[in-house]
Amino acid sequence: MAKRVAVLLSGCGVYDGTEIHEASATLVHLSRAGAKVKMFAPNTEQMHVVNHCEGKPMEGKRNVLQESARIARGDVTDLTKLDVKDFDALIIPGGFGVAKNLSDWAVKGKDYTVQPQVEKVIKAFRQAGKPLAMCCISPVLAAKALPGCEITVGQDKECEKWPYAQTAGVMKDMGCTHVNKNVGEAHVDVKNKLVTTSAFMCNAAFHEVFDGIGVMVSELLKLA
């Protein structure tokens, strides 16, 4: 029987929403595995809007659900309507939308909070014994919602290839176990049924990120 997977989006675009290539890779690997996918997003206003040519905030407001519809080809549902009973697993791709729209990590760092509806959904999947997968920066959501979990955001020593490695240190300070992994690998927290991979936390080629997300999806479906 085909696995039913919910995918949680945070907008559209790396600097203020979901990282589009991570979302696309997730959807391709799920499709290839024969999974049935439904996409969700919060019906809320984005923290801000970023001009992706300049990487700087610009005037205007955008809605997370409406922007996520760009990735979902229009077929996206308000997160409040997600019923855990209808799904076998949950995936949350990365992108700064995770740190701005699904949480306030981008503003508060280690003192961040997860958007209440997002935290509720993550905990509901965990309590139901259903697996979750998160890539890039999205494991910070698990660090808060599932205290003491095991995650990877790649490597814990900052360098040109791993410019965001300091995130691993914060996760450790929060009581999580961080496991160093390369971009083509994923870590499986068996206890929490949580699968994570670094994706664009690494300055890697597109195909390497794509392949790493493939490993994440494969490991998730084994648990579902």
CA–CA separation, 117 and 218 (whole Å): 27
Residues 6 or more apart whose Cβ sits within 8 Å of residue 61:
45, 46, 49
Known catalytic membership, residue 53: no
Sequence-ordered list of residues with C-beta below 8 angstroms from that of 78, at least 6 positions apart, any chain: 40, 41, 42, 43, 65
Tokens 């493939």 belong to 214
Which residue in this structure is represented by tokens 């290539």?
21
Indicate which residue of 136, 149, 176, 202 is catalytic: 136
Gyration radius (Cα) of the chain, Å: 16
Active site residues: 136
